[in-house]
Chain A
């Protein structure tokens, strides 16, 4: 279950302990539309991260006093499963989870035409089944796909990726071990077509010059993630279309018989 921390996370050749280069992302696998009940859903594996997102809505809002007269209320819950981390996590929402729910909501809301659905709720649930660093970014990436899958009108997909500094090297897509080491971690969420940053946080220490490089690396990572998001969406909807075409053919055959 647990991994031992290697002596050095990055060797002299600039190869990270898991074999990645400094600017290399972890392998990403995305699936769209995998839950039966939700209006939209998606699943992501990024390294050892495994995260599900589901969207319900736009739907009637409860409690009613949360209704907004000019737009839909986006409500976001980021939650980690008790078995998702080394030490069992209490299922009650922690302060970290409450903060992340807030910043994720603020990262995603700029992408949605909430003004089309006044007085309704769009509920977004992000469940981290296994965590390995960078879950808020992977969570935003997968949540944006779930919103698209729910057919909610959007300005752009939101893609997220962290960059940071470990052992003096600037790197992209930090995993848990790299995140916990000394250095810096800068999660970024970005809408590529609009060139707009929707989430930016940082902990650790960076000079202004380093920060500029890290920010640009994070945005590059977001652009790569965006390609994968598009492919995953296309994969689902071409599959649906093909299945639909097959059914039509069958129906035609039956009719001619």
Chain B
């Protein structure tokens, strides 16, 4: 019960600040924390990137293997996204099979990449219906200080941009790897923007302290031409139509700012 009282006091403090247009860490309501992106730090992976969003830290590795396509999409490569909330990242993360939070995280990151058709999966076919490239995107959360979705989506995008495919040739039905690399074929660049709703106010990029007291969460992913390509509401609170439409306008602009950090036009 003591912890609940403490949480309620903290929630009140955060809400009071936000009502005055301020936040605990000194940011404005619509500002992100400092974003740092480093690419290619895992040589063994075909692509990798680490994103730091304030103290939140996410590492994404991309591995590419040869596998079978899904029966209903014989002419497309396969994309899979997995997320690990590694126990070293937070006192609340425990070892074991993925829980609903890590599954939701992986599926929201997946949705942005898949629905915007970021990866040109039709270019990943070796033999239609039999052999295709499988792109594994593994999200590895290293330090949890809130807003894992945006950090993970950005790290996944940076890792994909960083990904190099090996060259290959097909000889008598066998795939032979040849020297040299080419970039993974990309068509789009989705970026996620997450809001927290605290005491009827929307704030961008909630950090842990804010996430712990938020009523609800809303994530919107935008593709390069400014269309929405994925959305996910979370938490036990609710939104009004007005709030959602307002958020979509802010998110569009924020997504463009974040994208510019990864994709240099």
Contacts and interface: CB of A to CB of B under 8 A. Distances in A.
Interface of B is mostly: mixed
Interface in B225-243: 226-241
A241 interface: no
A188 to B, nearest CB: 9
Interface string A92-112: 000110110111001001100
A195 B238 CA distance: 9
Interface in B214-261: 218, 223, 226-241, 244-245, 248-249, 252
Contacts of A245: none
- Which of B238, B244, B248 has the largest count of A CB atoms less than 10 A from its CB? B238
Nearest to A108: B236
Given A95-B106, A205-B227, A207-B226, A197 B241 contact: yes
Interface string B12-39: 0000000000000000000000000000
Contact of A197 (B111, B240, B249): B240
Given A95-B107, A102-B100, A211-B248, A196 B230 contact: no
Nearest to A204: B115
Interface stretch (A31-39, A166-174, A212-220, A231-239): A212-220
Contacts of B248: 208, 211-212
Interface in A179-218: 186, 191, 194-208, 211-212, 215-216
A70 interface: yes
A205 B238 contact: no
Nearest to A155: B238
Interface residues of A, number: 34
B244 A103 contact: no
Nearest to A111: B238
Interface residues of B, number: 35
Contacts of B6: none
A208 B228 contact: yes
A96 B111 CA distance: 12
A208 B249 contact: yes
B233 A106 contact: yes
Contacts of B115: 203-205
Contact of B236 (A109, A207, A216): A109
A1 to B, nearest CB: 16
A215 B241 CA distance: 8
Nearest to B99: A98
B105 to A, nearest CB: 10
B1 interface: yes
B227 A201 contact: no
B116 interface: yes
A151 interface: no
Given A99-B103, A208-B249, A212-B245, A203 B111 contact: yes
A92 to B, nearest CB: 12
Contact of B237 (A95, A110, A203, A211): A110
